[in-house]
């Protein structure tokens, strides 16, 4: 799976979490732009893990601040 495919699948998963209906780019910050609280982040991470059948550790989550970083992390975890 390449980065574009990963991005498309994540875009589908993020849609119900994007309450502000903001356009999402690689630079979109989950905390600053989408204004997600920790519960929303945890729910979203669980949805991503289910979608891709992966585990994102707490340490990895702490390093992922933007949509682009998430795409790269999921792409890497998928191999």
State residue 19's pLDDT score.
94
**Ramachandran class of 63: left when φ > 0, alpha when ψ lies in -120 to 50, beta otherwise:** alpha
Answer whether residue 62 shows pLDDT above 90.
Answer: yes
Report the topology of domain 3-78.
1.10.1200
Structure confidence by residue, pLDDT tens digits, 13-59: 999 999 999 999 999 999 999 999 999 999 999 999 999 999 999 99
Q: How far apart are CA 31 and CA 52, in angstroms?
A: 22
> Given a cut of 90, is residue 77 above it in pLDDT?
yes
- Provide the strand spans (E) within the chain: none
- End-to-end CA distance of the chain: give it in Å, rounded: 8
Residue 1 above 90 pLDDT? no
Distance, in Å, from the CA atom of 4 to the CA atom of 19, rounded to the nearest integer, reads: 23
């Amino acid at each position: 799976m390449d980065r574009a495919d990963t991005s498309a699948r994540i875009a589908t998963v993020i849609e119900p979490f994007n309450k502000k209906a903001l356009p999402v780019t690689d630079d979109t910050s989950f905390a600053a732009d989408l204004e997600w609280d920790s519960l929303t982040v945890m729910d979203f991470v669980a949805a991503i893990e289910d979608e891709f059948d992966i585990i994102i550790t707490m340490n990895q989550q702490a390093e992922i601040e933007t949509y682009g970083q998430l795409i790269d992390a999921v792409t890497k975890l998928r191999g």
